Structures are given as C-alpha cells and as structure tokens.
Structure 1
Amino acid sequence: MPRRRAPLASRVAAVLVVASTALSGCSPAAPSDLDSAALPGPVTVADVAVTAEVYRSRIDPARGGMQLSVRNDGAVPLTIVGARLESPALQQPIVRERTTVIGPGLTRDLALTLAPAACPDEGPEPPQAVLIVQLIDGSTAEVAVPTVDRIGQWAEWVAAECFAAAVAERVGITVRHDATRDEGAHIGLLLDIAPRAGASEAEVELVSLSDTVLFGLVQASDGTRVTKALLPTGTGGGAAAVSIPLLLTPARCDAHALADDKQGTLFRIDVVLDGEPGTVTIAADAATRGGLYDAFRRACGL
C-alpha cells in the first residue's frame, strides 16, 4: 500500500519550525547582567585570566568617579559579582556591588565611586583590583589583579585630592549664584572665601578662577570675555571672610550643551600653597547649579 503523505500545509509548517530552531541556535540571545547565573564560567580561580586598567571618563570628575576597565582573556564568560580597588593612597577601599558579565575576549568598564584619598601620598602606584567572580558551581572567589594607570589619571587624581585637602585646611572656598547681578547675557557669581584660623597670605593665595565648558567669564569693567578672572592679591590669607563678585556668560547657546552638561559648574581655581602652585576644583552645590542652569536658559532664550 502506498505511504500516505502529510498534507502540504503540515509539511511546510514542520520545515518552518526546523528552520526557526536552527536559526535560533545560530544566534543566541546576548547575555545580560540578569542571566549571569545560567552562563558557563571558570571552574577554579586558576581558570580566570583578566587584565585591568583604571581611567576616568569625561563624566567621572563631575560624579567623583573612576572606571575599572576589565578584559576577560579567558575562554569562557566571566561573571563578576563585585569588585574593589585597594591602595595605600586610599583611606578605605573603593567598593562596587553589582553583577557584570564579560564575554571571552571582551572588555567592560566598571564604574566606581571614589573614596577619600589618604594624604600625603606622592607618586602612588596604580591600585590593586580585587574581583569577586562566580565559578561554574555557583560559588564565588576573590581574584587579585594589578591595574595599569591607563593615562596617568589615577596619580593625577591622588595628587589633586591631596593638594585640595591641604588648601582646605587653610581656607574654605565655595561659589554661589548671584541672581541680583543677572542681566541680559551676564550671570552673577560670588566666590566665597573663608580663611581658617591661623592661615596667612604667606601660606595660601588664590590667584585666578577659570571659565568652564558651559560658562565663560566676563570682565565687569568693559565686558571683555576672558578665560581667567584674576583675584585680588592676597586672596585666601588673613582673618576676614570675603565674597568676590564675578560675571559669567554662556560659553555657547544650545539646549544640547546644557542637557549634556557634566562639568559646566566645576570651577577651577589656581592656588599657590606654601610657594607651590596647583589647582583646586570647586563644585557648585545643587542649589547653585540649578540657579546657574536657569540663568543660562534665560541668557540664551531657551
């Protein structure tokens, strides 16, 4: 008796199912941070092969952060459930508690929030990274990895933090929006300086304040744009607190510049401390930042 063939529609459906299964097998879903427990991984710590670097992205200065860049040099995906940076240059380790999956041969940047620097620490070595990795049996283990200071930003950060801490021992520095002086394209800013008890002009002097990527500086005398506003000689020492009025103006007028701003309200001040020049960065607080942003919109007509 001749074999009965399945209806054409059924045969087509079967072919489609097989084809769909084959295609899905060739294109597995990309792993995410949430499905890491289902991924294969190293069997023992000896199977973990990674290299690590530290660097700062353009948004890190504003958020007080650092990037730990980890490359998985192994043959299987690596699940990192936590990480920390350890260094004599830190008052405490920098800790990250978040799961990240790194495929073989791939690199992921792990964002960290910096801890206070331990000063003085001149010419610090790059920190050691301690990675908490998940093994294939579900257990975790710590893997210590030396890091490379990719472009010298770790050493720069430590030096800047220690210089700023030494300045802060002598004088308090803050900025405020002065809305009473907003007019047209000009925006008022007050630089508040409060010398600490015992500080003298011979120890610390504030020399100038620089413009930012969002705000330019204007000379009140003639309206000329400048990149630095020179401060009165002797600013910083003495016993009396002072407020120095400054004028800002938008460095550029487009909504994108404001919406994407990361460092526009970080004001850098050149300082001479005990005869040594350096720079400190004064971050506007939330209220000042909001006021300056509103003034920027009004000045630009946004």
Structure 2
Amino acid sequence: MCRLAAAMAVIATAVSCSTGGPSDVASPATPTAPASAAPVTAEINQLRDNYGRQIIAIQLTNTTSGPVTVLGAGLASPLFAGTIEWQGTPGGIELPPGQPKILPAQLRGPACGLSTQQVNKEPVNEEPVNEEPAVELRLAEAWGPGSAATVPAADPYGVLSRNNAEMCLAQAAAAVAAIRLEPELVVSADGQGALMGLTITPRSTPGAVNPGSKGTLTINWIDPTTLLAEDPSAPWPRSVSAAAGGAGQQYWLGIRPARCDPHAVAEDKVGTLLPLRVSVGGRDGVLRVDAGALLRGRIYEFITAACGRQ
C-alpha cells in the first residue's frame, strides 16, 4: 500500500507539471509571407486594347506545386497617388502551379511633380525615387485566411513610367486646350481617301492643373497609326501652337489606309488613337487622341471599303 501511494503521488506530480492552463498556450499567429517566401511572383504589363483606358495588368505567377488563391491585390508605386487596386470577385482567383494569370487594375492619378529624370531613374541633383513598385496580396487556403504577402513587381517594359509620362502630359495639355477628333468623316469621290477634323479649343485662361505650362501647347507633328497613314494631298499640320485665351483652330487631316491585310480592322487595338507629338509645360511626348465610338466605326467602314477597291 505504501508503494502504491508513492507511485500515485509521482504520477500526480508529473501530470500537474506537464499540464498548463490557457495562459500557458501561445495563440497561433496570422500567417504573413515575406517576399522571399511568397508563393507568387509579380510583373506589370499592359494589353494593347487598354492603352487608352489607363488599365494595367498585374501578372501573378504561382511558384509553388499546389494551387494558391488570391483574394485581393494592390500595387503601390511612387509614380501614382494611392494604391492601384485589382477589383477582385468574391472568393478571389485561383492560380494553378506555374501558370501566370492577369489581374486588370485601373491606374490612379499620376504623381506629376516628379522630373523626367526621376521618373526614368536617371542621376540628377534632386532626390531620386528609390521606392520600387510592390504588390500587396491577400491570400487564402494553405497560407491561412487573411494571410498577407508583399512581393516586388517587375516592370520590364516600363509600363508605369510610360503611363505616368503620358497622363501627366495629358494633364498639362488639358490645362491649355481641349483637343478632339470630330465624329464626321468626309470620304473622297474615289473612296481611297478621307478627311477627319482635328479641333483645338483653348481654355480662357491657363488651368491650375499644371501652373508651369505657361499657357502654350505646340503640336510638333502627328504620327501615323497601324490603320491610318497621311494622305499627301491633304498633309497633316506641323508646328501648330495654341495658347490659353487664344482663338480655336480646326484642321482637316487627309487619311489613307496604312495597311490592307485581312486582319487590319478585325484585330485593331490602337489604330484609332491618333498620336500627337506635343510640347507643353516643359514636357515633350505623345498625346493620344481617341477617335470615339462614332468616328471609330466610320474609320473602320472607310478602311474596309478602300481596301476592297484596291
């Protein structure tokens, strides 16, 4: 009996030492994946039919051997104000192993206070922009509900810097004048050429969007597009200047088909975005003027008919 009592005392002591109360047990932390351990990589791109709409593609690639579900994604870049969000659907999107998927995201307003050298990361006397674009991800499944990962976003084609430059140029131009293509298209008698109207309407005073614009905009020349070429009989204007408070101007641009292969119209993405080479507010670049739905349809009809006659 003495030996039995001693054994029971030993067992009781062991149990009391090995059993802890609730305060002794650590709560599991919400999983957070650092960039080195993140299950995906990110790259920035842009589809051609989204050029005029300032929509970029956040391309994610699953680097694991199993599926990964992304519930949310947001891109942060010093070239744009605020986070560029992918508007995900309930339940997110599943990334199969090794297969890239594209998440479309609308760009936010551009940060136009940066110099051209800073945007392109060239050495200047000003403070450089060192922050690289990064994607914040909300993940599910194996990474835990609500888990997060931050991954650097490669931009091999300079999508962010190009869009920043074009959007800031457009802001500077809009502070001086409105530029539009008229919906009418005047087709020649032989059907091989046409005229479309380019209208410049100056603001009454220089806008506050870009105070450094000094109220003057110059169209240096106009580039052809994948669909539209210059008609030599009605050449496109060059070195045209418009000043805030000045008179409006209109030009008739002679156009001919730039190509007549069977896929010219069927596969068109940017053929009706007219590229103007402009200088305004200390910036030089391409200002793309959208033809709009009505003129776009008329251009397609003209190209199809003109090519059919050749």
What is the distance in 2 between the residues matched to 1:188 and 1:235? 22
Percent sequence identity is 28
- The answer as to 2:142 corresponding to 1:133 is no
Partner Cα separation in structure 1 for residue 197 and residue 251 of structure 2: 6
Q: CA deviation digits over 1:146-203, x for unaligned, max 9?
A: 2122222211211221122111111111112433344411122111101112359973
Paired residues for 1:224-263 under 5 Å: 229-231=236-238, 233-235=240-242, 239-263=246-270
Q: Which amino acid aligns with 1:86?
A: A
1:91 aligned residue: 81
The equivalent position to 2:160 in structure 1, one of 120, 138, 154, is 154
Report what 1:3 is aligned to: none
In 2, distance between residues paired with 1:117 and 1:275?
Answer: 17
Judge conservation of contact 1:135–1:141 (CA < 8 Å) in 2.
no
- Residue 210 of structure 1: aligned partner: 223
Q: CA deviation at 1:131?
A: 1.6
Runs of 4+ in structure 1 deviating by more than 4 angstroms, as ranges, are 199-202, 235-238
**RMSD of aligned alpha carbons:** 2.7
- Which residue of the partner structure matches residue 51 of structure 1? 41
Deviation at 1:270, TM superposition (A): 0.9
Residues 254, 105 of structure 1: CA spacing in aligned structure 2 closer, same or farther, 3 A cutoff? Answer: closer
Change (3 A) 1:276 1:154: closer
2:124 is aligned to: none
Q: 2:93 is matched with which residue: 100, 103, 120?
A: 100
2:214 touches 2:281 (CA, 8 Å); kept in 1?
Answer: no
Q: Which residue of 2 aligns with 1:296?
A: 303
Q: Secondary structure of the equivalent of 1:175?
A: strand
2:218 alignment partner AA:
E
Q: Is the 8 A contact 1:68 1:112 kept in 2?
A: yes
Residue identity opposite 1:139 in structure 2: P
* 1:35-46 equivalent positions in 2, closer than 5 A: 44-46=31-33
1:220 and 1:247 in contact (8 A); partners too = yes
Mapping for residues 162-177 of structure 1, pairs under 5 Å = 162-177=168-183
Larger Cα-atom Rg: 2
Shift of 1:68: 1.1
Are 1:117 and 2:110 counterparts?
yes
Matched, 1:187 2:225: no
Cα-to-partner distance string for 1:67-97 (whole Å, 9 max, x where unaligned): 1122222342111122221234323422221
Instruction: Tell me the distance in 2 between the aligned counterparts of 1:236 and 1:186.
Output: 31
> Could you say what secondary structure the match of 2:246 adopts?
coil
Q: 1:144 aligns with which of 136, 146, 150?
A: 150
CA 1:105–1:298 in 2, change beyond 3 Å: closer, same or farther? closer
Q: Distance in 2 between matches of 1:241 and 1:196?
A: 9
Q: Distance in 1 between matches of 2:85 and 2:144?
A: 22
Post-superposition Cα deviations, 1:2-48, rounded to whole Å, max 9, x if no partner, equal xxxxxxxxxxxxxxxxxxxxxxxxxxxxxxxxxxxxxxxxx943364
TM-score by length of 2: 0.72
Using the TM superposition, name which of 53-62 and 242-251 deviates more.
53-62
- What amino acid is the match of 2:42? A
2:17 counterpart residue number: none
Q: Which runs of no fewer than 5 residues in structure 1 stay unpaired?
A: 1-42
SS at 1:278's partner residue?
strand
Please list every run of 5 or more consecutive structure 2 residues that lacks an aligned counterpart in the other structure.
1-29, 120-128, 207-212
Residue 81 (1) aligns with residue 71 (2)? yes
Q: Shift in Å at residue 269 of structure 1?
A: 0.5
Distance 1:175 1:60, change over 3 A: same
1:49 Cα deviation after fit: 2.5
